[in-house]
Amino acid sequence: MAEETSNDNLVVQGNEIVPSNGEALAEEVQGDELVLAEDLIQGDEVQGNELVSAEMSIPPTSRRRRKKSLVWEHFTIEAVSGGATRACCKLCKQTFAYSSGSKIAGTSHLKRHITLGSCPKIKNQEHKLLLTPAGGTDNDGEGTVERPSKRRYRYTGYANAAFDQERSCSYLAKMIILHDYPLHIVQQPAFTTFIDSLQPRFRVVDVETMEWEVYAVYQKEKENLMQAFNTMPGRISLAIGLWTTSQTLGYVSLAGQFIDSEWKMHRRMLNFMMVSSPHSENALSEAISTSLSDWNMKDKLFTITLDNDCSSHDIYSANLRDYLSNKNNLMLKGQLFVVRCYAHILNAVAQDVIASIHGVIYNIRESIKFIKASPSCEEKFAEIALQLEIPSTKTLCLDVTTQWNTTYLMLLAALDYKQAFSTLETSDDNYNEAPSAEDWKKVEAACNYLKLLYDSAHSIMAAANPTSNLFFHEAWKLQLELSNATGCEDPVFSSIAKDMHERFDKYWKDCNLVLAIAVVMDPRFKMKLVEFSYSKIYGVEAAKYVKVVDDAVHELYNEYVAQPLPLTPAYVEQGGGNNAPASENSTQATAPSTGDGLVDFDMYLSEIATSQPTKSELEQYLDESLTPRIQEFDILNWWKLNTLKYPTLSKMARDILAIPMSMVSSGNSIFSAGTGTRMLDDYRSSSRPEIVEALVCAKDWLQYLPATPEAPSTALVKVDAA
């Protein structure tokens, strides 16, 4: 091993540090590996991945050399008294001698600090520097020139990784998909310059090639999802969304929701198809049929959920049910087939309330704008509120007109300051937008009913993946509250309540059956909550409506009984392979006598089985006591644990609990006024339909993939050549 250059052999020439014997140690770039000598040969330059000599020799005194050693990524130079300097470690803050003003101490002791584990911070972060031999040849292994036998440093990790153009293109395509970047980003000079600075060997492709890369990602992920669907144990329910463009065309989005074999809920985008008229029921039916054929799920469709507006719902329901019932085996004669989005009905009702007092809301918005116009107005309003001893701590803020929850919160805050608004109007001639007493009464009524919708929406948002059973609790309470409010003596309150109830009652009549069946699948409630809630809503006629639900549950269960029951792995392991479950209405044969002299007892058991048929799974489930209600109850895990006990009923529960009662999964979008038809941006509208589908679907699929592995460490490694 070569001896290190002694500190005494280093002298200052002009602005450079060179060995006193005149020997210069060169920095070399070999392949993708950065090899660093202790000093640079004067005048040598690095271009690309090769070391070339400058055509002109620059005198040492003509320019100031930059410190090239990698140790300076770990150290900074600090001046001390007498013109001396010290090197300070950026990690542990220890200082070391560097220069005394006329003599340089060198960097060997600094390298030892970071390479031999002396720095405590590097120890803690497990970034120890290893002593490893480096051999081989220069010129990426193409030549035969031996590497100089000198002590060098290099980076580990991606510096030694082989460059892969195809893999990099695929990652770029995924980045564009996940972050909604335009495909023509690959043509933007700033982007290409940035990429070249990272990896000069990467060839940035054109837009057409990038479209192909995006489509390749889409096809690969689609194949993976197709395999998952092939092993899906139950049926799938679709959620249908409508999109319009700035042109005359529109799109239909189809997302599938299902519960897998591990009883985990999933929702995946299936298709994003262009149609000439998205509001046409025929176009919608054809899109659904095409999607089912595309994914080979013609016999697995359970329900569809629509987020369209209420006025066209009946047309959709009738046409879709008739069109698809001839091609699919719809359960319960299609009574559960079409479901309406719960978030959409909340938004529709909320918009009706806001529209009923739009004049008052305008005055309140203008009042808040006046107060917020200047600090003096804001201070004056605060003084009035203080004088009136208004206890409210709410802040007056303008609403976002497309988010009805912000309008509700704005009205709620303004209601607390209604006296302050009136006082401000009398004391400031420039302000004349204060609502009247009658107006404030309308605001109070609106806030009273908007609170019901607001609380219901938040209850749904509390669950990351809400199962269908959760929606019955919200719907029946809202139906009851609005029904009772219609009889309010105050005409202002009753008028708003009647309009709200008329809108929500239509939803209740259409969807209360599927909501009720879903809650029956909740072992904490079963039929008991249906009986209780219906007694509150329907009074003396409750029994009639309860019977409708009970009959539907039994009829649906019988349809599942008639289907073949595949054996689960656990059942097979327990020896169930030779004993397939018999129909619940049939009697099971008694095991033959074992020769223990109890033949009469065996005959007695057979007689009991004949005279007292075994209860069906459904009857056993309904007759058992309710599961205790706890806050952390996981209904999917409960059914997973009880699959062997209720093999047929669990199949039915799996399909029902996976019904998407709401198109909105989480976030403030549940309060959006536009949960129905949505607008596609101009960039997507101008793209080819197959690329739009690839971008939208692949973005949905990629977000569920495992995170990318961490990049290799880029720590310094000390290298000794043999």
pLDDT tens-digit map of 13-40: 444 444 444 443 333 333 344 333 334 3
What CA–CA distance (Å, rounded) separates 418 from 66? 69
| Average of per-residue pLDDT across 307-324 | 58
- pLDDT at residue 144 greater than cutoff 70: no
- pLDDT at residue 449 greater than cutoff 90: yes
- The least confident of 114-123, 495-504, 684-693 is 114-123
Give the torsion sign (CA, 658, 661, 664, 668). Answer: negative
- pLDDT at residue 90 greater than cutoff 90: no
**Tokens encoding 689:** 């339909």
pLDDT at 73: 79
Q: Which residues are CB-neighbours of 128 under 8 A, at least 6 positions away?
A: 117, 122, 715
- The least confident of 63-77, 314-328, 432-446, 672-686 is 314-328
Calculate what percentage of the chain has a pLDDT beyond 70.
72
Contact 557, 649 (CB under 8 A): yes
The torsion defined by the Cα of 712, 714, 718 and 719, in degrees rounded to 10, comes to 60
What CA–CA distance (Å, rounded) separates 176 from 498? 49
pLDDT tier for residue 326 given thresholds of 50, 70 and 90:
low
Q: Which residues are CB-neighbours of 517 under 8 A, at least 6 positions away?
A: 336, 549, 552, 553, 556, 656
pLDDT at 313: 53
Radius of gyration of the chain (CA): 37
Sequence-separated contacts (24+) of 593-598 with Cβ below 8 Å: none
pLDDT at 278: 64
- DSSP class of 290: H
Which residue in 297, 197, 287, 182 sits closest to 242, CA to CA? 287
Helix/strand/coil for 98:
strand
What CA–CA distance (Å, rounded) separates 701 from 204? 25
pLDDT at 214: 96
pLDDT at 114: 74
What CA–CA distance (Å, rounded) separates 175 from 230? 29
Contact 597, 428 (CB under 8 A): no
pLDDT tier for residue 319 given thresholds of 50, 70 and 90:
low
Contact 413, 397 (CB under 8 A): yes
pLDDT at 303: 92
pLDDT tier for residue 689 given thresholds of 50, 70 and 90:
very high
Q: Which residues of 477-507 are buried (b: 16+ CB within 10 A; e: fewer)?
A: bbbebbbebbebeeeebbebbebbbebbebb
- The least confident of 216-225, 387-396, 575-584 is 575-584
- pLDDT at residue 406 greater than cutoff 90: yes
- pLDDT at residue 134 greater than cutoff 80: no
What CA–CA distance (Å, rounded) separates 159 from 261? 43
Cβ neighbours of 589 (radius 10 Å):
9
pLDDT tier for residue 123 given thresholds of 50, 70 and 90:
low
Helix/strand/coil for 34:
strand
What is the chain's mean pLDDT, rounded?
78
Q: Which residues of 376-404 are buried (b: 16+ CB within 10 A; e: fewer)?
A: ebeebbeebbeeeebeeeeebeebeeebb
What CA–CA distance (Å, rounded) separates 680 from 242? 10
Contact 169, 212 (CB under 8 A): no
pLDDT tier for residue 143 given thresholds of 50, 70 and 90:
very low
pTM across the whole model:
0.70
What CA–CA distance (Å, rounded) separates 352 from 677? 18
Amino acid at 597: G
Burial label for 250, CB within 10 Å (0-12, 13-18, 19+), is: buried
Which residue in 167, 216, 209 sits closest to 698, CA to CA? 216
| Average of per-residue pLDDT across 49-69 | 47
Continuous H helices in 565-598: 569-573
Contact 513, 335 (CB under 8 A): yes
pLDDT tier for residue 613 given thresholds of 50, 70 and 90:
low
pLDDT at 465: 82
How are beta strands 301-306 and 236-244 bridged, if at all?
A: parallel
pLDDT at 615: 84
- pLDDT at residue 575 greater than cutoff 70: no
pLDDT tier for residue 306 given thresholds of 50, 70 and 90:
confident
CA 456 centroid distance within chain: 22
pLDDT at 566: 55
Which residue in 565, 558, 570, 569 sits closest to 581, CA to CA? 565
Q: Given the structure tokens 């035969």, which residue do they identify? A: 144
| DSSP secondary structure letters along 702-715 | HTTSPPPPPPPP--
Nearest 5°: CA angle at 391, between 385 and 396?
Answer: 60
Q: For 332-354, write each residue's pLDDT tens digit.
A: 888 888 899 999 999 999 999 99
pLDDT at 50: 43
pLDDT tier for residue 7 given thresholds of 50, 70 and 90:
very low
Continuous H helices in 144-280: 165-178, 189-198, 207-230
What CA–CA distance (Å, rounded) separates 509 from 179? 41
pLDDT at 477: 96
Helix/strand/coil for 487:
coil
- pLDDT at residue 311 greater than cutoff 70: no
- Between 705 and 405, name the one with better pLDDT: 405
| Average of per-residue pLDDT across 235-242 | 91
Helix/strand/coil for 30:
strand
- DSSP class of 524: T
- pLDDT at residue 99 greater than cutoff 70: yes
pLDDT tier for residue 667 given thresholds of 50, 70 and 90:
low
